[in-house]
Amino acid sequence: MSRYDVVVIGAGLAGLTTACQLAQNNQKVLVTATGIGALLLASGCIDVLGFQPADSMEPVKNPASKLDDFLAERPNHPYGLVGRANLEAGLNNFLKLVNQHGLDYKGDFNHNWLLPSAAGAVHPTCLAPASLAKGELSTGESMLIVGFSQMRDFYPTLISQNLNEQDLVKAEPCLIDVTIPRAGKVDVVPTEVGHAFERAEFRREVIKAVKSKSKGYQRIGFPAMLGLRQHREVVADLEKGLDKPVFEISALPPSIPGRRLYEALKEAFLQAGGKLILSGKIVAGTIEGGRVTQVQLETISRLKPIQVQHYVLATGGLFGGGLMAHQDGRVTEQVFGLPITAETNRHKWFNPHFVSPQGQPVFNYGVKVNERLNPVNGSAVPLAENLYAVGAILAESEWAHGRTGDGLAVATAAAVVKQITGNK
Ligand SMILES: Cc1cc2nc3c(=O)[nH]c(=O)nc-3n(C[C@H](O)[C@H](O)[C@H](O)COP(=O)(O)OP(=O)(O)OC[C@H]3O[C@@H](n4cnc5c(N)ncnc54)[C@H](O)[C@@H]3O)c2cc1C
């Protein structure tokens, strides 16, 4: 007999939010994952619907009110299967989950924050950590944007110029040269800056370098690296020292807000009694008589079979490792060998425009599911009643088209938790 009721394969946003809620509903849950997925690569915000139509230059202000238009344009997107109620429930569950575990996310389904991106563009997002939400552009409050001379990949001048040119806010760059502890003189990475901010003496140095330049600006933006575990203290201390609101702007990976989110979800999961195996690759799964009977976990010495009641596939598509694109044009699902509808002519995988608002066709390839999120075959027949697929592994879920990846992860988590726990 297994010690677990459910195995969740994957520890990205979809896998962890599903696993946390199942564990909090008294399910015995094992999460096993090769890594922590896109959390370290993305902004740490929850994007639900950012642009509609996808090529619109106008960001969506209210995702709830634009959902039907989005589904009219993309009728096969899995938002249509999970439905508005699960999307809203997923967002509420997410807020409750992370805000009970040390984070402070703000927002709701009827509103998008309009935040400055690392390129000085507008990032419309539904739920954001409070530190990023304070960068809201629609308030029009002027901002000083601080960067570090040793840091590549965060350019205050680029951000300010782009914000100014779009007439969004008055913004001014401020490049400072301070000693970042334990970092080299060039190529400082976000994690080093995040740790540096947790030292009071480093904050004093930053405050000294910024304070006189901040006169005349209503708020001060920093790269999103204001501490990892001590984030709240860091922000409070900087605001006290600078005597102004301080906010964070998303930077390039590794994402510190994404890391904080991962840590909070992990803590919530472990506190609820879950077990997490990182570097735990599931290499195969068996489907017999319409049910999954086991999956095989790769361990250092052997393949270990795991047999439970329910299996959640949260392996994240091509980016996450759940799908593999082969040179001969095949696209395969890596654990169960589930059917994937994909173009075998590789030249059709990509849009001629690299940065296309419609995204890339190849990222729409994935696992087709029914309303219960059970994978189905080409005739829409469910393949295994105790197997559920969530997040970016789903077919037609290309996130760049409309900016919907995070919303889909939390919505499918809510839907599967209902299925497994019977809480309708
Ligand atoms: C670079 C990048 C930027 C993004 N930016 C945005 C954005 O701006 N807005 C937006 O809405 N969405 C964005 N997304 C998409 C969004 O982050 C994802 O859709 C969302 O986080 C859901 O992720 P997921 O949990 O389904 O998959 P992932 O986060 O990819 O997680 C997959 C998990 O499965 C594990 N795994 C894979 N195969 C196996 C296996 N065989 N055995 C065990 N574990 C396995 C991986 O280790 C990982 O833990 C971005 C994604 C990427 C990659």
Report the distance separating Cα 289 and Cα 287, nearest Å.
Answer: 7
Q: C-alpha 158: how far from its chain's center?
A: 25
Q: C-alpha 204: how far from its chain's center?
A: 32
- The pLDDT, as a whole number, for residue 185 is 67
Element (H, E) at 164: helix 156-165
Report the distance separating Cα 364 and Cα 397, nearest Å.
Answer: 5
DSSP state for residue 60 in the 8-state scheme: P
- The pLDDT, as a whole number, for residue 264 is 98
**Model confidence pLDDT, tens digit, residues 366-413:** 999 999 999 999 999 999 999 999 999 999 999 999 999 999 999 999
The answer to whether the CB of 214 falls within 8 A of the CB of 8 is no
- Residue 128 C-alpha to ligand 1 middle, in angstroms? 18
What average pLDDT does range 273-283 have in this prediction? 97
Q: How far is CA 406 from CA 80, 301, 400, in A?
A: 15, 36, 11
Q: Which of 7, 8, 13, 355 to mutate to test the pocket of ligand 1 (most atoms within 8 A of CB)?
A: 13
**Structure tokens that stand for 64 in this block:** 């709830």
* Amino acid identity for residue 218 in this structure: Q
Q: Which of 36, 35, 32 is nearest to 296 (CA)?
A: 32
Query: Ligand 1: does its nearest atom lie under 6 Å from the Cβ of 128?
Result: no
Q: C-alpha 180: how far from its chain's center?
A: 28
Of 102 and 184, the one with more pLDDT: 102
What average pLDDT does range 161-181 have in this prediction? 95
> For the chain, what is the total number of helices (H) and then of strands (E)?
11, 18
Query: Ligand 1: does its nearest atom lie under 6 Å from the Cβ of 399?
Result: yes
Query: Which atom from ligand 1 is nearest to the alpha carbon of 13?
Result: 25
Query: Is the predicted pLDDT of residue 206 greater than 70, yes or no?
Result: yes
- The pLDDT, as a whole number, for residue 24 is 97
Query: Is the predicted pLDDT of residue 49 greater than 70, yes or no?
Result: yes
Query: Ligand 1: does its nearest atom lie under 6 Å from the Cβ of 48?
Result: no
Query: Is the predicted pLDDT of residue 238 greater than 60, yes or no?
Result: yes
Q: Residue 348: count other Cβ atoms within 10 Å of its Cβ.
A: 12
Query: Ligand 1: does its nearest atom lie under 6 Å from the Cβ of 115?
Result: no
- The pLDDT, as a whole number, for residue 239 is 98
The model's confidence at residue 423, banded by pLDDT at 50, 70 and 90, is low
**Structure tokens that stand for 295 in this block:** 């999956």
Phi, psi of 379 (to 5 degrees): -100, 20
Query: Which atom from ligand 1 is nearest to the alpha carbon of 16?
Result: 25
Query: Which atom from ligand 1 is nearest to the alpha carbon of 10?
Result: 34
Q: Sign of the C-alpha dihedral, residues 233, 235, 239, 241?
A: positive
Query: Ligand 1: does its nearest atom lie under 6 Å from the Cβ of 295?
Result: no
What average pLDDT does range 320-346 have in this prediction? 94
Query: Which atom from ligand 1 is nearest to the alpha carbon of 33?
Result: 44
Locus of tokens 């370290």 = 40
- Entry pTM: 0.97
Q: Which of 70, 106, 63, 54 is nearest to 88 (CA)?
A: 63
Q: DSSP labels for 177-233?
A: ----TT--SS---HHHHHHHTTSHHHHHHHHHHHHGGGTT-SEEEEES-S-STTHHH
List, in order of start, the domains of the chain with CATH numbers: 6-102+259-421 (3.50.50.60), 135-244 (3.40.50)
What average pLDDT does range 146-165 have in this prediction? 95
- The pLDDT, as a whole number, for residue 184 is 67
Query: Ligand 1: does its nearest atom lie under 6 Å from the Cβ of 306?
Result: no
Residues 26-63 as b/e (b if ≥16 CB within 10 A, e otherwise) read: ebbbbbbbbbbbbbbebbbbbbbbbbbbbeeeebbeeb
* Amino acid identity for residue 401 in this structure: H
Proportion of the chain above pLDDT 90, given as a percent: 90
Report the distance separating Cα 281 and Cα 221, nearest Å.
Answer: 40
Q: Mean pLDDT for the chain? A: 95
The model's confidence at residue 83, banded by pLDDT at 50, 70 and 90, is very high
Q: Which of 84, 91, 90 is nearest to 107 (CA)?
A: 91
Q: Which of 27, 30, 28, 25 is nearest to 10 (CA)?
A: 30
Query: Is the predicted pLDDT of residue 37 greater than 90, yes or no?
Result: yes
Query: Is the predicted pLDDT of residue 1 greater than 60, yes or no?
Result: no
Query: Which atom from ligand 1 is nearest to the alpha carbon of 320?
Result: 30
- The pLDDT, as a whole number, for residue 379 is 94
What average pLDDT does range 171-199 have in this prediction? 89
